[in-house]
Structures are given as C-alpha cells and as structure tokens.
Amino acid sequence: MISLTPSLSHTLSSSLSVLTLFVIPVGGGIPAGVLLARRLSLAWPLTAVLYLISDVLLALAFEPLLRLGSRWGSRSRLGARIGAAFKRATERSVAHFNGTGAGPLALVMIAFGVDPMTGRASALAAGHGFVAGWAVAIAGDMLYFGVIAVSTLRLNAYIQDPNTTMLIILAAMFLMPVAVRNLRARLAG
C-alpha cells in the first residue's frame, strides 16, 4: 500500500472535492468550487488546472455523443435538417464577432458566452476536428472560468458569506445574458 504524507493526502482529497464540483455541468459548479478551493487552501493555479481537467473530462464524455449525432445527421433527413439549422444558427451567432466565418476567435466567444459543448458543436459545424475544436471550446470556457472565479472571490471578500456570494453569482450568471440580449434588442430597434 502506498503511504502518502498528510499534506499530499489532504491536497489530493481537497482537489477531488473541488474537481467534483467543477464537473457539475450547470451553473453552481464554478463559484462553489472556487470558494471550496479557497477554504481548503488550494492554490489558484491548482484550482485552474482542476477546472481544465473537468473540461477535458467533458470533452471525453461529450465527443462520442457529438460524433453520433453528426453521423445520424448524415444518414437521416431529419438529422440533416437539424444539422443544417444548427450550422445556420452558428453562422448567425458568429457574424457579430468576425463577419460570417466561424474562425477560432468567434468559436472561443461562443464557448465563453454559452458553454463549451455548444462551442465544440459550433467548431464541428465549422469543420474543425477534435483537437482544434476542443481547444477553442476549452479556451472560451477557461476565460469564462476566470471571469466567474475572480468575480466570486472578489464579491466574497466583501460579503464574507459563501452562500450569499454563490446566490449572487448564480443570479448574475443566469440574468446577465438576458439583460444583455434585451439591451441589444432595444438599441437595435
């Protein structure tokens, strides 16, 4: 049996707890994981690496589903229509980033603004393979992680209550995109 020093054992146990929160695919994983990492005295580079690992795990779990859907789309009329609609939606989404092409920066921004799975699906629709597609999706998600992590830690420094901090950050994560969309619609119309 391998004997670990108490410090290494604590770090591994703490890291696994934080990684578990980051693997949660919706909302609260980032603020909860960042606050837990702070409470468990994990260094911020380790916390960022744990989030990166959660993205790699997501890639390994999601890619087969994405490929299956893509294969179904090439063999079924309904699947082909869904694929074409998704491609048109991607083109509309990236148009305001850099014209009409789905280049790497636009795909990073999709992953930042929506989620890495949508970023990867958009990258596939734009013709990017596994490595390049996930690289841009993960880059966008890591930027998102950075914004949410810093916001969470800064807000908690003032509030000093992790539960209230998480609620405020979660509310902002869900309400800010709606507010931005409404503001854009008012300014455009």
Name the token pair of 12.
């591994």
Contact 35, 156 (CB under 8 A): yes
- What's at 38, amino acid-wise? R
- Flag the least confident range among 35-49, 80-94, 107-121, 164-178: 80-94
Q: What is the pLDDT of residue 100?
A: 45
**Mean pLDDT computed over 33-55:** 95
Residue with tokens 């880059």: 139
Query: Which has the closest alpha carbon to 104: 118, 92, 86, 122?
Result: 122
Look at 48 and 66; give whichever has higher pLDDT: 48
Q: Is the pLDDT of residue 176 over 80?
A: yes
Q: What are phi and psi of 40, to 5 degrees?
A: -90, 5
Whole-number Å distance between alpha carbons of 6 and 9? 5
Q: Is the pLDDT of residue 153 over 60?
A: yes
- Flag the least confident range among 31-45, 104-118, 128-142, 146-160: 104-118
Contact 173, 34 (CB under 8 A): no
Residue with tokens 């074409």: 84
Residue 95: pLDDT band (50, 70, 90) is: low
Q: What is the pLDDT of residue 62?
A: 83
**Mean pLDDT computed over 153-179:** 91
Q: Is the pLDDT of residue 41 over 70?
A: yes
Three-state SS for the chain is CCCCCHHHHHHHHHHHHHHHHHHCCCCCHHHHHHHHHHHCCCCHHHHHHHHHHHHHHHHHHHHHHHHHHHHHHHHCHHHHHHHHHHHHHHHHHHHHHHCCCCCHHHHHHHHHHCCHHHHHHHHHHCCCCHHHHHHHHHHHHHHHHHHHHHHHHHHHHHHCCHHHHHHHHHHHHHHHHHHHHHHHHHHHC
Name the token pair of 163.
């539960």
The per-residue pLDDT of the chain, averaged, comes to 84
For residue range 136-151, list pLDDT tens digits in order.
999 999 999 999 999 9
- Flag the least confident range among 57-66, 94-103, 162-171: 94-103
CB atoms within 10 A of CB 144: 20
Residue 99: pLDDT band (50, 70, 90) is: very low
